[in-house]
Structure 1
Amino acid sequence: MILNKLKCGKITIEVSSLIPEKILNLLWHNGICASKIVKVNITTVRFEVPFVSYKDVELLVKKANGKMRVVGKSGIIVLLLSIKRKISLCVGGGVFLIILYLLSNYIWAINIETKNNLSPFEVRQELSLAGIKPGIKKSDINVYDIEKKMEDLNSEVMWVRARIEGSTLSIVVAEKVNPPNTDKTSCNQVVAKMDGEVKRAFTFSGNPAVVPGDIVKKGDVLILPIQGKEGFEKEVNPSGTIIANTFYEKLMEIQISGEKLERTGKKDMDIYLNFWNRKIYLKKAINDFKSYDKIEETGGLFNEVIYFERTGQNINLNRDDTIKESSEKLQASLQKTLTNDAKIIEKKISVEDISEAKIRIKVIFTVEQDIAENIS
């Protein structure tokens, strides 16, 4: 009885044929009840038939050389069939939500924010000793205990804030700020910001403490905070420009002959999930490379290990051209760190043979620049 009720349903069909009335007669002749008949146009008619008669209607329409299409459905059986088609999607969605809920009960990342005196590595090491690491249940973590332990870790720590944010444990460490060191210099002075040989001195206020030719060290006073001749001095805020020759040394090692391993551009990778130090691989690398670079990207739920293929490439570089190109590269890298007013006036190149195939290029640059720094 219940099964018969479930099978109750209606399908609305449009049939196209040269003589649609012929198809209706054919349906009635075969005991199929067609209701709510509407003539759409001269060759098309629309009607409803029971759900269980659909296959029979389809055979009869084909037999009469007609065309049909379903334009509407109704009834419990239609709903059940729709659910049946999507049951795998529903089950998959339910499993996904369950897994998501289970995973949300664990900590999968630890974010640590420190300043200068304490490194994130030290904090992470201390947490690891206390059993706090990715994969631990949130219910096993007491943030107040963590804060207390971290405050006792280092005398420079002023306070610690630990909070659980989603699946991440965030730890912020505030450190004590020590007063600046004022032993070497006092306020209102102009000092050298680096070592150099003074070439020219220009003062806007204050008397110069150096003359051209003097060798100064970082922190030496360049301009005194007084102005005027002896007996008529007055205190001023010193300012000016001290042009000096400064020196920079840069090194580069180059292989000029033999064989060198270089990346070919091919790569392969492992992709895996990390649960409680257990690896569940989503993709496993074939890794048939004879030589390769290996880079691991870990720390979260999804982790990767990337393999870059390397093959031997024969190298035969011209020694003189290589030295010239390398010195130009070193000069270009130095210029990126200099100010706009700095000027490279000289460079001395020396070459050392490390082996038969490799050389070390050392370049000493002489840079003319302003070394004055105001301390206020």
Structure 2
Amino acid sequence: MFSSLKSGQVTIEINALVPEKILNAFWNSQIYTCNIVKVSLTTVRVTIYYRDYKDAEILIKKYKGKVKIVRTSGIIVLLMKMRRKISLVIGMGLFFAVIYILSNYIWAIDIETQRNLSPFEVRQQLSSIGIKPGLSKSQVNVYQIEKKMEDLNSQIMWIRVRIEGSTLKLVIKEKVNPPSTEKTLYNQVIAKMDGEVKRVYTNSGNPAVVPGDIVKKGDDLILPIQGREGFQMEVKPSGTVIANTFYDKFMEIQVSGEKLERTGNKNSDIYLNFFGKKVYLKKAINQFEYYDKIEEKDGFFNKITYFEKKGINVNLDKESTVKEATEKLEGSLRKTLSNDAKIIDKKTAVEDIEGGKILINVKFTVEQDIAKNVS
């Protein structure tokens, strides 16, 4: 086997004043030659064994000749060429090895649902049973996942789980709930929220409430009939019911002592996750005494950012702070109200809590139309 590897051949061109002397020297040194071709008066082409090339080169230089390799053949020659590019070969080998290893893991989860079930909810439930990116394919039993997901989520009627490449694909069909059998009265005017009735204006229909009544969300406000008893007829009710409604808003504020705030300085770790082991591309030197830590995970490529926080002294005027907070809460409430709603009263309660903080609770009374037409 070894001798066959050494049997590679090299065709060379010898350029010398008298190339025949060099051929004689080859024969005297027992260097096997064949396919001798005289190219010109001073040039000869000859084939020798690769193992004899070094000796032949020494003899050619001894006779002040020049040598050029024209052609090579044989396994040993190929191996010698590859040896010169060993780093490239090793790199390619490692590349394909890494690709092969990574192909044995799940790196993405593709979820296909219908109308009511969100992919985010499904992903959370998969995580609760240990199914997430970076999991080895050998640890994934698609039939067990199907059974567990059906047990976890009552909305799933049918589920198919399959591995496609490095992606775990889920196709989910949802259960369709039967229509509600509860009878709904059409042409109703009901309360859209709780409140205390102040005034009732009807365009058609008889009022079901009077000023001073406390109503709950969904209660009838105007009945779909009009007229006095004995002279009633069915109509489509409509009107306006003005009521006092109530909202609670609160805010926690630190007015004294020390609190931590971000300084704007930050640092970060960047790392790759291989089979549960972290390979850091960048390692932060975290010298922050206090900091917020935010971790961004993307399966393979991950980042952790540290935001420095330092304590600052707080000494706020309690009265002005409460007033300002009340105005902010009122502004926040106004954004949620309709244009015809009016804030007619507000009551502020302040409670001291630990750490120099206060809890500001404001109760708002809002006069607005609570009638909702259902038709």
TM-score by length of 2: 0.67
Aligned partners of 2:12 and 2:287: how far apart in 1? 60
**Residues 320 and 111 of structure 1: CA distance in aligned 2, closer, same or farther (over 3 Å):** farther
The superposition leaves residues 207-253 of structure 1 with CA deviations (integer Å, 9 ceiling, x where unpaired) of 22112222111121111122222222222333332221111001111
The offset of 1:186, in angstroms, is 3.5
Larger radius of gyration: 2
SS at match of 1:298: strand
Alpha-carbon displacement from aligned partner over 1:121-148 (angstroms, at most 9, x marks no partner) = 76225531xxx43223446645455334
Give 1:270 shift.
1.5
Q: Secondary structure at the match of 1:171?
A: strand
SS at match of 1:304: strand
Q: Secondary structure at the match of 2:241?
A: strand
State the partner residue of 1:159: 158
Structure 1 residue 93: Cα displacement: 8.2
- Code of the aligned partner of 1:368: E
Q: CA deviation at 1:107?
A: 1.2
> Residue 203 of structure 2 aligns to which amino acid in structure 1?
F
**Paired letter, 2:335:** K
Q: Compared with structure 1, are the counterparts of its residues 337 and 147 closer, same or farther at alpha carbon in structure 2 (3 Å cutoff)?
A: same
Give the structure 2 partner of residue 63 of structure 1: none
Corresponding position of 2:264: 265
Match of 2:319 in 1: 320
Which whole-Å CA distance do the structure 1 matches of 2:92 and 2:228 have between them?
88
Contact 1:270 1:285 in 2 (8 A): yes
* 1:206 lines up with 2:215 in the alignment: no
| Cα deviation, residue 201, structure 1 | 2.2
Residue of structure 2 in register with 1:48 after alignment: none
Q: Which runs of 5+ in 2 are unaligned?
A: 1-9, 15-84
Is residue 117–residue 155 contact of structure 2 (8 Å, CA) maintained in 1?
A: no
Match of 1:115 in 2: 117
Partner of residue 367, structure 1 = 366
Deviation at 1:261, TM superposition (A): 0.7
Root-mean-square deviation (CA), in Å? Answer: 3.7
Letter in 2 for 1:234: M
Sort the Cα spacing of 1:3 and 1:190 in 2 relative to 1 into closer, same or farther, 3 A. Answer: farther
User: What does 1:323-338 correspond to in 2, within 5 Å?
Assistant: 323-338=322-337
Are 1:283 and 2:282 matched, yes or no?
yes
Once the two structures are TM-superposed, the CA of residue 191 in structure 1 deviates from its matched residue by 1.6
CA–CA distance in structure 2, aligned partners of residues 271 and 189 of structure 1 = 61
Task: Label 1:109 to 1:328 Cα distance change in 2 as closer, same or farther (>3 A).
Answer: farther
Tell me, yes or no, if structure 1 residue 245 matches structure 2 residue 247: no
CA deviation string 1:19-68 (max 9, x = no partner): xxxxxxxxxxxxxxxxxxxxxxxxxxxxxxxxxxxxxxxxxxxxxxxxxx
Which segment drifts farther, 302-311 or 93-102?
93-102
Q: When the two structures are aligned, how many residues end up with a matched partner? A: 297
**3-state SS, counterpart of residue 362 of structure 1:** strand
Q: Which residue in 1 is equivalent to 2:338?
A: 339
Cα displacement string for residues 267-292 of structure 1 (whole angstroms, at most 9, x for unaligned residues): 11122222222222222121100011
How many angstroms apart in 1 are the aligned matches of 2:330 and 2:13?
Answer: 90
- Runs of 4+ aligned structure 1 residues displaced above 6 Å come to 1-5, 86-94
How far apart are the structure 2 equivalents of 1:338 and 1:181?
32
Residue 127 (structure 1) aligned with residue 129 (structure 2): yes
Structure 1 distance, partners of 2:327, 2:92, is: 60
Percent identity of paired positions between Structure 1 and Structure 2: 65
- Counterpart of 1:61 in structure 2 is none
Q: Does 1:351 align with 2:350?
A: yes
TM-score, normalised via structure 1 length: 0.67
Cα distance, 1:155 vs structure 2: 4.0
Cross-structure match for 1:73: none
Q: Which residues in structure 2 correspond to 1:1-376 (within 5 Å)? A: 99-100=98-99, 102-110=101-109, 115=117, 119-120=121-122, 123-125=125-127, 127-128=129-130, 132-138=131-137, 141=140, 143-164=142-163, 167-171=166-170, 173-179=172-178, 186-355=185-354, 357-376=356-375
Q: Is the 8 A contact 1:107 1:167 kept in 2?
A: yes
SS of residue in 1 equivalent to 2:129: helix
Query: Residues 3 and 101 from structure 1, CA distance in 2 versus in 1: closer, same or farther, beyond 3 angstroms?
Result: farther
Structure 1 residues 201, 283: CA separation in 2 closer, same or farther (over 3 Å shift)? Answer: same
Q: Distance in 1 between matches of 2:96 and 2:276?
A: 23
Q: How many angstroms apart in 2 are the aligned matches of 1:259 and 1:133?
A: 41
Q: Is the 8 A contact 1:185 1:219 kept in 2?
A: no
Separation in 1, partners of 2:161, 2:90: 38
In structure 2, distance between residues paired with 1:241 and 1:359:
40
Q: Which amino acid aligns with 2:351?
A: E
Q: Is the 8 A contact 1:257 1:317 kept in 2?
A: yes
Larger mean CA deviation between 107-116 and 335-344 belongs to: 107-116
Contact conserved, 1:196 with 1:215, CA < 8 A, in 2?
Answer: yes
